[in-house]
Amino acid sequence: MSSNSQGGRPTAVASDHAGFDLKGIIKKHLEARNVEVMDLGPHSDESVDYPDFARKLTECILNGGAGRGILVCGTGLGMSMSANRYRGIRAALCHDHFTASVARRHNDSNVLVLGGRVLGSELAIDILDAWLDTHFEGGRHRRRIDKMEEPGT
């Protein structure tokens, strides 16, 4: 399977129990797009703690094991809050095509967060495709992203 992920690295996916079903749909869609996928779990819908899986995914990206990631929990809120605690992670909780596109174009999002209990699978795939297909514009947006990486932000 070829990879069209950032830097030739796979795209990591992870969820909690509430996002497990949507994670499976996302994984199949990524594979159909010939995106190399690294599934960081869970591997069943038994109850788990979302911060554990957000940590696994963010550390994988920060350590260079994956180029980008997708997190799914019930609303997306817990995963978003957990992932954004890590410097270098720009996790974007997206609810539509527009927010996914802007998350990449203006914010250079490296993690997409989705809510498995608030999005239908067709909308989730549209959001995913918008996020995957949009490129970072740079320019004035780079300056703003650099400010997010400053200590104390």
Query: Domain map of the chain by residue range?
Result: 6-148
Residues 6+ apart with CB under 8 A from 116: 15, 18, 19, 20, 21, 22, 23, 72, 73, 74
What pLDDT sits at residue 6?
A: 66
Q: Clarify whether 94 is annotated catalytic.
A: no
The whole model's pTM is what?
0.92
Residue of 95, 97, 106, 141 marked active site: 106
Average pLDDT for runs of 10 along the chain of length 153: 61 98 98 98 97 98 98 98 96 98 96 98 98 90 83 66
Residue of 17, 60, 73, 94 marked active site: 73
Q: Clarify whether 106 is annotated catalytic.
A: yes
The class (CATH top level) of 6-148 is alpha beta
Measuring CA to CA, which residue among 46, 47, 56, 99 is closest to residue 79? 56
Beta strands 68-73 and 11-15: pairing type?
A: parallel
Residues 6+ apart with CB under 8 A from 137: 105, 106
- The encoded tokens of residue 105 equal 């174009």
